[in-house]
Amino acid sequence: MKKPTLNDVVKASGLSIFTVSRALNGSEGVSAESRLRVLEAAKSIGYVPNKAARALRTQSPGPVIVMTASTANYYYIDMIDGIQAGLREAKIAMRFADLAPSGEFDAALEDAAIEEAMQSRATGIISTLTLSPENYVKLTQWGIPAVFVDSQAPVSPLGAASVTTDNADATAQVGEHLAFHHVMDWVLLIYPHLWSTRASREAGLRAAAARHGAALTVLESHNDPTSARAVLDGYLSQRDSRKPFALVAGNNPLLQGAFTALRDRRLRISEDVVLIAFDEFAWAPLLDPPLTVVDEDSRSIGELAARKLTAIIKRSAAQGSGSIGPVYTAGDVQEVKASLLIRKSCGC
């Protein structure tokens, strides 16, 4: 589909190009009625004003916009460091957009970030959330490639790119280790299905539980420490505190809430509760006892994503103006393995 142009807005509004240009730029000398008419015409045909025209004229690349789901998760801090390292090689700037402040996804923030990407003629997108089909189509129509990390790429005939962890294998490793310790009562504290990694992490642990005859309880929490604490505390209030169990925390914010709930109940880690969590963070080995974690190596994932994005940008540019949207290949979808870093919180 051809991208709408300024001339298309002129035709749709029935006004002069001078009036249309000034209305879109927010300049004076345009009546309120004409400005509204222009804006409605632009919206009806999907035209986005180019705030980066000067940069395009000088051939300066636009930024890469990195969209994450809450900066409270240490995973994203390391991942962003890796993205910055990868983009520095290509001399591309980066902007940051948090689509889930405090762990609560906001669809309006996603829409705003996509709008900003089109207005600034972003070089590309790296997203930790699966975007809506409508927004993904918009990006493709505007020729903006996207690479997804820590989330599944949208299923689309337009193609896609991603660097993800084999989460089913990661939780399978967790299950095998718990079975090795003969702990057969497992609790998974996990975020909602809105985050696409939920399904594979739960599936991997369920399969391991079935293989070893373990009992698995899944506790769903909002993606923040306060909710995680409340959900786990509610569960603990109903179970026999004398019966040891294994707790698997789905990410850093949920782990924080879990720690608080366990402390409130005076449960000892490794003696009363075998604890394993996603993901590695700098002070995990310094805790007492040191924390066993699934290490996805998010910094390497971020660097891989940045390099993959720059490769897609170069490939798409080589196709020339005759191609519609970014050019993806089968090799642009990549899955990597995580490692289980075994420390004393699991009873070792």
8 Å CB contact between 138 and 47: no
Quote the pLDDT of residue 293.
98
pLDDT digit string (tens) for 69-111? Answer: 876 788 888 999 999 999 988 888 898 888 888 778 888 999 9
Quote the pLDDT of residue 246.
97
Q: Which helix (H) or strand (E) holds 319?
A: helix 298-319
Confidence of residue 55 (pLDDT cuts 50, 70, 90): very low
Quote the pLDDT of residue 322.
46
Residue 321, strand partner residues = none
Q: Looking at per-residue confidence, does 192 or 241 come out higher?
A: 192
Confidence of residue 53 (pLDDT cuts 50, 70, 90): very low
What interhelical angle do 197-212 and 167-180 show, nearest 10?
30
Quote the pLDDT of residue 157.
82
Residue 247, strand partner residues = 187, 275
Q: Looking at per-residue confidence, does 268 or 58 come out higher?
A: 268
- Which residue ranges form the domains of the chain, and what is each CATH number? 6-45 (no CATH), 59-164+298-336 (3.40.50.2300), 167-296+340-346 (3.40.50.2300)
pLDDT digit string (tens) for 110-147? Answer: 999 998 888 777 889 999 988 999 999 888 878 889 99
User: Is pLDDT of 51 > 60?
Assistant: no
Parallel, antiparallel or unpaired: strands 339-341 and 292-295: antiparallel
8 Å CB contact between 134 and 155: no
How deeply is 20 buried, as exposed, middle or buried, from its count of CB atoms within 10 A (0-12, 13-18, 19+)?
buried
Give the CA radius of gyration of the chain: 24
8 Å CB contact between 343 and 295: no
pLDDT digit string (tens) for 198-234? Answer: 999 999 999 999 999 999 999 999 999 999 999 999 9
Helices and strands: H and E segment counts in the chain:
12, 12
Which tokens go with 288? 């007492």
Q: Which of 59-63, 136-140, 156-160, 169-173 has the lowest mean pLDDT?
A: 59-63
pLDDT digit string (tens) for 307-348? Answer: 999 999 888 777 654 455 688 998 999 999 999 999 999 989
User: Is pLDDT of 178 > 60?
Assistant: yes
DSSP state of 165: E
pLDDT digit string (tens) for 229-263? Answer: 999 999 999 998 788 999 999 999 999 999 999 99
The arithmetic mean of pLDDT across residues 5-26, rounded, is: 79
Q: What residue ranges in 79-127 does DSSP mark as E strands?
A: 94-98, 124-127
Parallel, antiparallel or unpaired: strands 185-190 and 245-249: parallel
The arithmetic mean of pLDDT across residues 266-294, rounded, is: 96
